[in-house]
Amino acid sequence: MIKAGIVGATGYAGTELVRLITSHPKAEVSAISSVSFEGKKISDVYPSYIYLNDMVCENVNEVVDKSDVVFAALPHGLSQELASDCKAKGVKFIDLGADFRLNSENEYSEWYGGTFIDKNLHKEAVYGLPELFRNEIKGKSIIANPGCYTTCSPLALAPAVKNGLVKLKGIICNCASGVTGAGRKPNQGNHYPELNEGFHAYKAAQHRHTPEIEQTLSKLAKEKVTVTFVPHLLPVNRGILATCYADIKEGVSFEEIRKAYEDFYKDEYFVRLLPDGMYADIHNIKYSNFCDISLHYDKRAGKLIVCSAIDNMVKGAAGQAIQNMNIIFGLDEKTGLQILPPAF
């Protein structure tokens, strides 16, 4: 059994890791930590775990010492030293935060206000979006697990961008996320009376996930891609719906685009390309590691419209992290993640 430690286990992404790994046939939760709840049982924080997982939150050093792999579900700026400690002890490290996602230190400094503490460590880190970079992930020890918006938007656009079917200028990613994406700490924005029965954009054209989306698409296109990214907050707990727009190149038919998507994702278990006429819907991927994609053609405007839906806590966080763990330990990617979404 793979011994998996979880740092930040009482946050939403961390506790989702606890939930999923508890049912994993080849891994077990070896230790957990939480600054806010050290010394307390996780079932005291989340009563749904009572008698099923009553592990006590320990300190971070104990988690590293007891683990083959450590998942860090921490705010940005807190993972770099932990990654260094894990490397020194031969422990694999999967970061659900932002510290290793950006290749450019200048961009990291601009968007997150930090620096690369150990530049060599960053060179070893691999961006863990399996459907796009699987071969780079295999055998690696430090994985930068993508976030929610930065999973659903690139997956929506990857086949069109990589195959040169759309113009790279003017791409728009219009996304809406459930409130768990804001984290567990309460604030006025996710307070029930403020959130309920509302729907609004936030951080338009200035969200920190923007350079990450651009980095992935630029790598696929082999040239610089700039996108307009506008996130919205949905009054639901889980799910992200990304609606992405791109101008189709002259001479490219919608049938060609459809075929390119079918070929690109034909062997990807976790990406479900929906039949024509269906729309990706967060209802249909809840609690699962699936990304549903639907393709739409605005013939009048010559635009490709792609909708993608994921559960932001699973494919957008914990599920994808476990998918990465499966890859680096040589397991079938589906192991522990073949979860059927509920019908209602």
pLDDT tens by residue, 208-248: 999 999 999 999 999 999 999 999 999 999 999 999 999 99
In the chain, what percentage of residues exceed pLDDT 70?
100
Strand partners of residue 58: 33
Report the pLDDT value the prediction gives residue 191, as an integer from 0 to 100.
83
User: Which of the four pLDDT bands, split at 50, 70 and 90, describes residue 308?
Assistant: very high
Nearest CA among 197, 154, 20, 98 for reference residue 4? 20
The structure tokens 């206000």 sit at: 113
| DSSP secondary structure string for all residues of 154-216 | HHHHHHHHHTT-B-STTEEEEEEE-GGGG-SS--GGGSHHHHTT--EE-STTT-TTHHHHHHH
Which part of the chain is CATH 3.30.360.10? 149-311
Q: Is the pLDDT of residue 27 over 90?
A: yes
Q: Is the pLDDT of residue 186 over 90?
A: no
CATH, domain range 149-311: 3.30.360.10
User: Which of the four pLDDT bands, split at 50, 70 and 90, describes residue 148?
Assistant: very high
pLDDT tens by residue, 238-282: 999 999 999 999 999 999 999 999 999 999 999 999 999 999 999
Angstrom distance (rounded) from CA 111 to CA 208:
6
pTM: 0.96
User: Which of the four pLDDT bands, split at 50, 70 and 90, describes residue 66?
Assistant: very high
Decide if domain 2-146+315-328 falls under CATH 3.40.50.720: yes
Report the pLDDT value the prediction gives residue 189, as an integer from 0 to 100.
79
Residues identified as active-site = 148
What are the residue ranges of helices labelled H in the chain? 12-22, 42-45, 60-65, 80-88, 105-112, 119-124, 130-137, 149-162, 192-195, 210-221, 254-265, 319-328
Report the pLDDT value the prediction gives residue 306, as an integer from 0 to 100.
98
In the chain, what percentage of residues exceed pLDDT 90?
93
Which part of the chain is CATH 3.40.50.720? 2-146+315-328
Of the given ranges (87-96, 101-110, 188-197, 290-299), which has the lowest mean pLDDT? 188-197
